[in-house]
Amino acid sequence: MDFRFEYAPGTIRYGEACVDALADELGALGAERALVVTGRTVGASEAVMDPIEAGLGGTHVETFAETTPDKRLGTAFDGADRVDAVDADALVAVGGGSSLDIAKIVAVVAASERSDDEIRATFEETGSVPAPDGELLPIVAVPTTLAGADLSMIGGITARDGGLIRGGVYDRRLMPDALFYDPELFRTTPHGVLCASAMNGFDKAIETLYAETATPITDGTAVRALDHLGDGLPALGEGDRDDETMHDVVVGTILAQYGCSRPDGLTLSLIHAFGHGIARGYDVQQGDAHGIIAPHALRYLFEEVDGNRALLAEGLGVEADTPEGLAEGIVESVIEVRDALGLSTQLREIGDMGESDLPDVAEDVHEDGLMPYCPEGLNPTVDELEGVLRDAW
């Protein structure tokens, strides 16, 4: 098997109170004035912000606690204004994927010579925020959810121009320069939020094993991720947050995303494309959408291709004598994790979604930018994707 693996993640620190070293890592990056980017809830949490601020010490110049799950472009403009106002030379994103995405767009906008109106007009026309040449502000990530959006070169954003516009930036300079995984900070996240985010991270490990861009390196990290997550997520769903459980779910999430966002492509495909099509238009968290659709998407995938089921089975601890048995065992294992996390099981549970919406969702999934990373031999039609959605209805 020939492959090329170009990957340059930031420095990873893991462990209780690892955020004590935030100022040290910023110093290694040559940064002295850090703007913290987070949401209002996390920004008001002393259990999160006190250790963050203590770890930053004198490098902390201000906290911009304005991010929301909507990830609005206007929020990024406001964040870039704060960068200029406090003369920040680094960004520290704290919380879930929304805060990290906003921090990335803030870094792009702060470095741009274009006006906010010009940037907005380009985004509304193309769905992209153009990244200028040269250096961007370094980004340090301190996640508190398990979605696995941290080791990523993507920054997602939305705007409204008569309707919702989604897009963002894909640029190697947006990979965080340092990442801090402190199990104690994950413990501060509400149970439902943490469990829903965990399904998103879990599915990254699943998809990494069958993606067109899979490599033996990502095979290794993904199998190990499934081993950790298969142990930790059911315990997490039961409310267990002891040291062993938190180690399994946090380290498993780090491994699930390691190598999945690279300059030559992503290892996310079918399940995440479905997740985008469902979650972007309706009132449902993306991890919950993943929980509903993943078993049905996997059944469809295994009908069409092998999907590297032997390695999936190894990671999930599935044993069977036939390829068909392995496939069914994998699907059942995913269902067991989903149910242990207490997530939704049918699309009809989404309050603002109707069965008549499914053709449009299928179109959105078919056009999603992750579909080209599906495994060789898997070429879904819109009708086939709609069939998967109807099975999940």
**Pick from 200, 151, 192: nearest CA to 174:** 151
Is the separation of the CB atoms in 57 and 87 below 8 Å? no
* Average pLDDT of span 8-35: 97
Evaluate if residue 1 carries a pLDDT over 90: no
State the DSSP string of 30-58: T---EEEEEEHHHHT-HHHHHHHHHHHGG
The tens digit of pLDDT for each residue in 124-149 reads 999 899 899 999 999 999 999 999 98
Q: Quick one: CA torsion of 228, 230, 233, 237, rounded to 10 degrees?
A: -150
Q: What is the CATH number of domain 191-392?
A: 1.20.1090.10
- Domain boundaries, given as residue ranges, for the chain: 11-184, 191-392
Evaluate if residue 280 carries a pLDDT over 90: no
As a whole number of angstroms, the distance between CA 198 and CA 57 comes to 31
pLDDT category at 78 given cuts 50, 70, 90 is very high
Q: What's the CATH fold of domain 11-184?
A: Rossmann fold (3.40.50)
As a whole number of angstroms, the distance between CA 228 and CA 248 comes to 5
Range name among 155-159, 279-283, 348-352 with the lowest pLDDT average: 279-283
* Average pLDDT of span 64-87: 95
H-helix or E-strand containing 169?
Answer: strand 164-170
As a whole number of angstroms, the distance between CA 90 and CA 138 comes to 5
Q: Which residue has the tokens 């290794």?
A: 220
**Pick from 200, 230, 331, 218: nearest CA to 267:** 218
Percent of the chain with pLDDT over 90: 91
Evaluate if residue 214 carries a pLDDT over 80: yes
**Pick from 330, 338, 298: nearest CA to 311:** 330
Average pLDDT taken over every residue of the chain: 95
H-helix or E-strand containing 141?
Answer: strand 139-143
* Same fold: 11-184 with 191-392: no
Instruction: Provide the pLDDT for residue 166.
Output: 83
pLDDT category at 243 given cuts 50, 70, 90 is very high
| Of 159 and 229, the one with more pLDDT | 229
pLDDT category at 159 given cuts 50, 70, 90 is confident
Range name among 131-140, 157-166, 303-312 with the lowest pLDDT average: 157-166
Instruction: Provide the pLDDT for residue 281.
Output: 77
Measured on CA atoms in the order 238, 240, 241, 245, is the torsion positive or negative?
A: negative
* Average pLDDT of span 369-382: 96
Instruction: Provide the pLDDT for residue 65.
Output: 97
Is the separation of the CB atoms in 92 and 37 below 8 Å? yes
State the DSSP string of 294-337: HHHHHHHHHHHS-TTHHHHHHHHT---SSHHHHHHHHHHHHHHH
Is the separation of the CB atoms in 138 and 88 below 8 Å? no
* Average pLDDT of span 73-79: 96
Instruction: Provide the pLDDT for residue 167.
Output: 87
- Residues listed for the chain: 393
pLDDT category at 164 given cuts 50, 70, 90 is confident
pLDDT category at 162 given cuts 50, 70, 90 is low
Q: Enter the pTM of the model.
A: 0.95
